Amino acid sequence: MKKYIALVLVLLVIIISIFFFFPTHLVAKILNQTASVFFIDSITSKDLREKYDNKKPIKILVVPGHDQTSYGTIDGNVRELDLNLELGRYLAERLKRNDKFEVILAQTEDGFRPELAEYFEQEKGLIWQFKEQKAAIMDALIGEGKINRKVVVDHISASNDTALKLYGLNHWANENKIDLVIHIHFNDYPGRRQDSIPKYAGYALYLPEQQYSNSKASWDIGRDIAKSLATEFAPSNHPQESAVLIPDQELIAIGSFNTLDGASVLVEYGYIYEPTYAPATPAVRSENLKRLAALTAYGVTNFFRD
């Protein structure tokens, strides 16, 4: 009997402390999270196309990768962030030409959109809770043997600040029912500066690994984007990217721990040091970035018109 009383007391303390330490809106939000559940599709290509045909706005979030405090890789004096921001601007403009798309550009040269910047700041607690909760579910399923951990390509771990923004973007995208998230990056590889001629060139797409709830639709969209890019650009010749479309469990951007409901595609558009990108004159570089944007938008539109 004593054991039960002790147990009840412990439980009571836990419950009271949860409500005491977390503001009520936060508790409500956590309980209300309807984010992706393993084994159930959070989004399907069929639903997306129906929505498009029924003239309901398709919400697309364009995310130029990295930010002013962590700008990604660099070549000469051109930062990856600069390429990502410029391409992001062109892509958002291109997509907006289709009035069925409601396009949100996550950041510009001036930083993240105010509503996102505020969200990262004010909802820090909620965002970490969300990540911890999703990670715990996935770990438990891996422990039970229902989900397999898969690592195809190793990535540099995101810093805490970057991780907060990326999980924040996922949570915000879930809350705002974003249909598609497109992350823009340029690639590089360790030890490149020691090579007299850099080894790799070309684009690759990272997509949610098949066990994630947003995987199938993301792959369908990714295939259409890759097909469109292939008409004018060469795919990656990196041996780990030979598939061009690469399943990934670890990248937060595409929903690690099953944290993203909407479809998501992370495009590494090419290697930063390729002559058409960082080393090119600003005018030539812009021309190439505009082509990449146009082809990406074309691929996305093709998916919806299928």
Interacting residue ranges for Zn ion, rule: CB under 5 A = 65, 72, 185
For the CB of residue 22, give the shortest distance to Zn ion in the complex, in Å: 34
Radius of gyration of the chain (CA): 21
For the CB of residue 65, give the shortest distance to Zn ion in the complex, in Å: 4
Nearer to Zn ion, 179 or 268 (CB): 268
Nearer to Zn ion, 80 or 220 (CB): 80
Nearer to Zn ion, 103 or 166 (CB): 166
Residue in 275, 62, 60 with CA at minimum distance from that of residue 185: 62
Nearer to Zn ion, 205 or 217 (CB): 205
Nearer to Zn ion, 72 or 88 (CB): 72
For the CB of residue 91, give the shortest distance to Zn ion in the complex, in Å: 15
Containing 247, the helix (H) or strand (E) segment is strand 245-248
Reduced to 3 states (helix: H, G, I; strand: E, B; else coil), residue 58 is strand
State the residue number with the nearest CB to Zn ion: 185
Q: Are strands 180-187 and 58-64 parallel, antiparallel or unpaired?
A: parallel
For the CB of residue 297, give the shortest distance to Zn ion in the complex, in Å: 20
Residue in 166, 154, 242, 157 with CA at minimum distance from that of residue 203: 242
Q: Express the helix, strand and coil content of the chain in percent, nearest 5 each.
A: 50, 15, 35
For the CB of residue 82, give the shortest distance to Zn ion in the complex, in Å: 12
| Euclidean distance between CA atoms 204 and 152, whole angstroms | 13
Containing 62, the helix (H) or strand (E) segment is strand 58-64
